[in-house]
Amino acid sequence: MAAREDVEFEAESGAILRGWLYLPDGPGPHPAITMAHGFAGVKEQRLPAFADVFVEAGFVVLLHDHRSFGDSDGIPRNDIDPWQQIKDWRRAISYLESRPEVDANRIGLWGTSYAGGHAIVLGATDRRLRCVVAQVPTISGYEQGLRRVAPDAVAGLNEFFAEDERAQFRGEAPRTQAIVSSDPSVPASYRAPDAVDFYLSTAPEGYENKITIRSNFAARMYEPGAWISRVSPTPLLLVVAKHDPITVTDLMLSAYERALEPKQLQLVDGGHFAPYLSEFATASGAARDWFTRHLR
């Protein structure tokens, strides 16, 4: 039976990142997969189910919490800098390389949603990776913002961001807002019912439904799709939901067209959260087969 152990490793500025290491049966060294969650997600939110599929296929799996989330260090809490998360993820790759159970020449990466964007950037820039899976990835923060924010609300949103910046200049801590809320009077990153349900129904005890405002500002400037043609020659699997209003289906399909070989597209029915739920078997199976093809 596969084993799971708590692990930690040091990242930039001395921050300790924590997560779980899954070890398959049998003698190593084994091929390995490094995983992390998307925007404001923590490892407990449906990712162990993916890790179980991968470890049962014979892979070592490292699943870590991003800086300032879950069990990992980081101040202020609930703060997302995409480029810091990418730098931290490079340390996760290095940690995997250091484990005696791992074949350092056979490491793949799996990222989802916001971290699916990170997967594209890392696939394009870290040649230690032998293959990459990007599930419902962020492609363009700017384009997503155009789809999700009404034109008459843009000026107010920009002032909301500016006021937070001014407050930080005055020495105040970064301001926060909800991650999800169905109440239109509550500032929140997501309001769609499926987003509210996913974040709140899968959250572990102690999970805080809040995010720094500057995390949302950074997300609107994040353009991982610009890197997608550079992932080649590292093999890239894109898992795309057919009716995704969050990372937006047509943006993902357009990005896939810009990617170079070797690449593969896996379409799943439903919206952004379907790969975790109703389409889990299809999404996880496609990723498992991709890793098996390129790492075994």
pLDDT digits (tens, 9 = 90+) for 12-39: 999 999 999 999 999 989 999 999 999 9
Q: What is the pLDDT of the chain when averaged over all its residues? A: 97
Which of the four pLDDT bands, split at 50, 70 and 90, describes residue 1?
A: low
| Nearest to 141, CA basis, from 247, 254, 231 | 247
Q: Residue 2 pLDDT > 90, yes or no? A: no
Domains, the chain, with CATH or none:
3-143+223-295 (3.40.50.1820)
Contacts of 124 (CB under 8 A, 6+ apart): 227, 228, 230, 231, 234
Q: Residue 239 pLDDT > 80, yes or no? A: yes
- Predicted confidence at residue 117, as pLDDT, reads 98
Give the mean pLDDT of 35-60: 98
Give the mean pLDDT of 68-76: 98
Residue type at position 244 = D
Torsion of CA 272, 276, 280, 282, to 10 degrees: 40
pTM of the model: 0.97
Q: Which residue has the tokens 């390129």?
A: 294
pLDDT tens digit string along 124-179? 999 999 999 999 999 999 999 999 888 999 999 999 999 999 999 999 999 999 99
Residue type at position 131 = C
State what percent of residues in the chain have pLDDT above 90.
Answer: 97
